[in-house]
Homo-oligomer: A and B are copies of this chain.
Amino acid sequence: MNDEYFMKQALREAGKAFDMGEVPVGSVILMNEKIIARGYNQIEKLNDSTAHAEILALTSAFNFLGSKYLPEATIYITVEPCLMCAGALYWSKIGRIVYGADDEKNGCLSHLPCQPDLRDNWPFHPKTELQKGILKEECSELIKSFFRNKR
């Protein structure tokens, strides 16, 4: 099982959001080769504009482990996290972040008013490893088809 396998699991979560009429973003958190938490966007269902896939997965992982830090874990997210989610991932001290598609509009790295010096890993934790572009096309296509259907 590799990054693509787990990104497919995150895509399955995103599919649940899609079916419920939510912007289709999904996430899973992995530890010791096991998925310990899952989340998908539930903004409409929960009536909460902050109920992003990553936030729900993080809360679930903290509860499952009884720990407020996740240095041994990897999170898979179908889309580049926004600034809020990047901040939440920072606080979690998560070991590794893997995301699929870039988000030009709201992504924490893609949409910035200035070019940060990324040597210090900002906005992520200095110890967090970052990998992007896994199943980029599928992740991006799901979002695009959601917005096509909306119109």
1/0 per residue, CB under 8 A from B, across A71-89: the answer is 0000000000011111110
What bracket does the count of chain A residues touching chain B fall in? 35 or more
Seen from chain A, the residues whose Cβ lies within 8 Å of a Cβ on chain B are 43-44, 46-50, 55, 58-59, 62-63, 66-69, 82-88, 90-93, 112-118, 120, 122-123
Closest-CB distance, A90 to chain B (whole angstroms): 7
Contacts of A48 in B (CB 8 A): 59, 62-63, 68
Considering only CB atoms, which chain B residue lies closest to A117 in the complex? B113
Closest-CB distance, A11 to chain B (whole angstroms): 23
Report the bound CA distance from A55 to B116 in whole Å: 26
Contacts of A88 in B (CB 8 A): 50, 84
Considering only CB atoms, which chain B residue lies closest to A120 in the complex? B113
Judge whether B49 and A92 touch: CB under 8 Å.
Answer: yes
Partner of A116, one of B63, B69, B114: B114
Judge whether A50 and B43 touch: CB under 8 Å.
Answer: no
